[in-house]
Amino acid sequence: MQTRIVSIQQGLIEAVELIKNGDIVVFPTETVYGLGANAFDGGAVRKIFEAKGRPMDNPLIAHIADISWIDKLAVDVSDCAKAVMNEFMPGPITVILKRSKDVPDEVTAGLDSVGIRFPSHPVARQFIMACGVPLAAPSANTSTKISPTSAQHVFEDMQGRVPLILQGGACEVGIESTIVDMTADIPTILRPGAITQDMLARVLGKVKNYDGQIIVAKAPGMKYKHYAPSCEMVVATSAESASEEYIRQNKKGLATVILAKRDYLEGIDGVFDLIDLGESDEDAMRNIYAAMHEAQNKYDYIVCQDFGQDGLGASIMNRINKASGGKRI
Please give the residue ranges that form the binding site for ligand TXA (CB under 6 A).
Answer: 29, 31-32, 34, 58-61, 94, 96, 108, 111, 113-115, 117, 137-139, 176-177, 179, 190, 218-221
Strands 232-236 and 301-305: parallel
d(CA 318, CA 229): 15
For Mg ion, which is the closer residue by CB, 16 or 220? Answer: 220
Residues 126 to 145: which contact Mg ion by CB under 5 A?
139
Residues 6+ apart with CB under 8 A from 114: 59, 62, 73, 74, 96, 97, 98, 99, 100, 103, 107, 108
What is the nearest approach in angstroms of Mg ion to the Cβ of residue 173?
14
For Mg ion, which is the closer residue by CB, 11 or 153? Answer: 153
Q: Is 31 in the site for Mg ion (CB under 5 A)?
A: no
Please tell me the count of residues contacting Mg ion according to CB under 5 A.
1
Nearest residue (beta carbon) to ligand TXA: 221
For ligand TXA, which is the closer residue by CB, 52 or 295? Answer: 52
Interacting partner of 243 out of Mg ion, ligand TXA, none (Cβ under 5 to 8 A depending on kind): none
d(CA 319, CA 189): 15
For ligand TXA, which is the closer residue by CB, 176 or 281? Answer: 176
Nearest residue (beta carbon) to Mg ion: 139
72-75 own/partner pairs: CB under 8 Å, 24+ apart: 72/100, 72/102, 72/134, 73/39, 73/97, 73/99, 73/100, 73/102, 73/103, 73/114, 73/116, 73/134, 74/98, 74/99, 74/100, 74/114, 74/116, 75/99, 75/100
Interacting partner of 94 out of ligand TXA, Mg ion, none (Cβ under 5 to 8 A depending on kind): ligand TXA
Rg over alpha carbons for the chain, rounded to the nearest Å, is 20
For ligand TXA, which is the closer residue by CB, 41 or 172? Answer: 172
What is the nearest approach in angstroms of Mg ion to the Cβ of residue 138?
5
What is the nearest approach in angstroms of Mg ion to the Cβ of residue 222?
11
Do 171 and 29 contact (CB within 8 A), yes or no? yes
Which residues in this chain contact Mg ion in the complex, by CB under 5 A? 139
